[in-house]
């Protein structure tokens, strides 16, 4: 005899039959699917609209005082107007250490966007300063000569006074133009240039030429643009 009377083959070990469940209604399936899509969309929107916290900075100005809190845009404007530079110390909170702007990566690139001073601004400053020195010397020399001789040169006295005091004013103005923020002094330089031209009353041809050149340079588009962007109060 070949074996027992049980001809049935046992099921594979570990294999289970799926339960016979009723089908899911269409309205339930659609509601569940819509809920999953809405949940995924909300999570994506939360990720997209989330922004890092705004960082505010405090700097030490040239006068040694602290200024802030200020945004990154504020620092960019201060750099452009000469109120801050690569050596300006900055920090984000009272506990952090003071650090130079050039050593902070997220601020160092602001230095590259700093508004460059046109060469003609430097030329205006030099012509104003040199013209002032020349005018002051000529005015002083003529005034002393007229005062000592008191002769036919008396008619030059007004010109000598204009040359001397105008020269002093031009020297001060030239020094300011060579300073940290020349843009805010450019507008007043037209007055200085006119005084330089007036020095012709003292026979000062040098300042006549320099004054005319200053007026021409002050009307240059690059100089006007620089003045408008840096002439802050």
Residue 67 belongs to domain spanning: 57-112
Q: Which one of 80, 97, 112 terminates a domain?
A: 112
Same domain for 205 and 130:
yes
Q: Which residues are paired to 60 by β-bridges? A: 66
Per-residue pLDDT of 94-152, as tens digits, reads 778 888 877 877 777 776 666 678 899 999 999 999 999 999 998 888 777 655 555 54
Same domain for 169 and 68:
no
Q: Which one of 49, 80, 112 terminates a domain?
A: 112
Instruction: Look at 16 and 62; give whichever has higher pLDDT.
Output: 62
Model confidence band, residue 38 (pLDDT cutoffs 50, 70, 90): low
Judge whether residue 170 has pLDDT over 50: yes
Strands, DSSP E only, in 19-82? 57-60, 66-70
Distance in angstroms (rounded) separating the CA atoms of residues 172 and 168: 6
Question: Is residue 186, in this structure, part of any structural domain at all?
Answer: yes
Judge whether residue 191 has pLDDT over 60: yes
Per-residue pLDDT at 211: 95
pTM of the prediction?
0.53
Q: Which one of 79, 112, 145 terminates a domain?
A: 112
Q: Which residues are paired to 70 by β-bridges? A: 57
Same domain for 141 and 80:
no
Helix (H) or strand (E) holding 28: helix 26-49
Same domain for 142 and 77:
no
Question: Is residue 41, in this structure, part of any structural domain at all?
Answer: no
Question: Is residue 133, in this structure, part of any structural domain at all?
Answer: yes
Same domain for 106 and 83:
yes
Question: Is residue 172, in this structure, part of any structural domain at all?
Answer: yes
Same domain for 102 and 174:
no
Per-residue pLDDT at 77: 80
**Structural contact between residues 174 and 132, judged by C-beta atoms closer than 8 angstroms:** yes
Same domain for 164 and 65:
no
Question: Is residue 73, in this structure, part of any structural domain at all?
Answer: yes
Question: Is residue 141, in this structure, part of any structural domain at all?
Answer: yes
Same domain for 210 and 125:
yes
Per-residue pLDDT at 233: 39
Q: Average pLDDT over the chain, rounded to whole?
A: 75
Question: Is residue 129, in this structure, part of any structural domain at all?
Answer: yes
Distance in angstroms (rounded) separating the CA atoms of residues 79 and 100: 13
Same domain for 131 and 90:
no
Per-residue pLDDT at 71: 82
Per-residue pLDDT of 43-93, as tens digits, reads 554 544 455 556 778 888 777 778 777 888 887 887 777 777 777 888 887
Distance in angstroms (rounded) separating the CA atoms of residues 181 and 83: 8
How many domains, the chain?
2
């Amino acid at each position: 005899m070949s074996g027992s009377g049980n001809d049935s083959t046992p099921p594979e070990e570990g294999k289970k039959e799926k339960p016979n469940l009723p089908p899911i209604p269409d309205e339930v399936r659609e509601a569940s699917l819509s809920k999953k899509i809405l949940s995924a969309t909300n999570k994506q929107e939360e990720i997209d609209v989330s922004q890092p916290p705004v960082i505010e900075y405090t700097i030490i100005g040239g006068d040694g005082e602290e200024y802030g809190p200020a945004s990154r845009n504020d620092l960019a404007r201060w750099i452009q107007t000469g109120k801050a530079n690569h050596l300006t110390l900055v920090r984000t909170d009272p506990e952090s250490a003071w650090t130079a702007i050039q050593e902070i990566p997220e601020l160092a690139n602001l230095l590259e966007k700093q508004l460059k001073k046109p060469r003609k601004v430097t030329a205006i400053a030099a012509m104003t300063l040199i013209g002032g020195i020349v005018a002051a010397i000529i005015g002083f020399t003529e005034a002393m000569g007229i005062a000592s001789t008191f002769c036919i040169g008396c008619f030059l006295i007004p010109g000598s006074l204009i040359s001397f005091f105008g020269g002093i004013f031009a020297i001060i103005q030239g020094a300011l133009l060579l300073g940290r923020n020349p843009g805010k002094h450019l507008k007043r330089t037209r007055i200085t240039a006119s005084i330089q031209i007036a020095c012709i009353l003292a026979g000062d041809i040098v300042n006549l030429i320099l004054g005319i050149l200053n007026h021409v340079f002050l009307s240059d588009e690059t100089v006007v643009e620089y003045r408008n962007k840096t002439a802050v109060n």
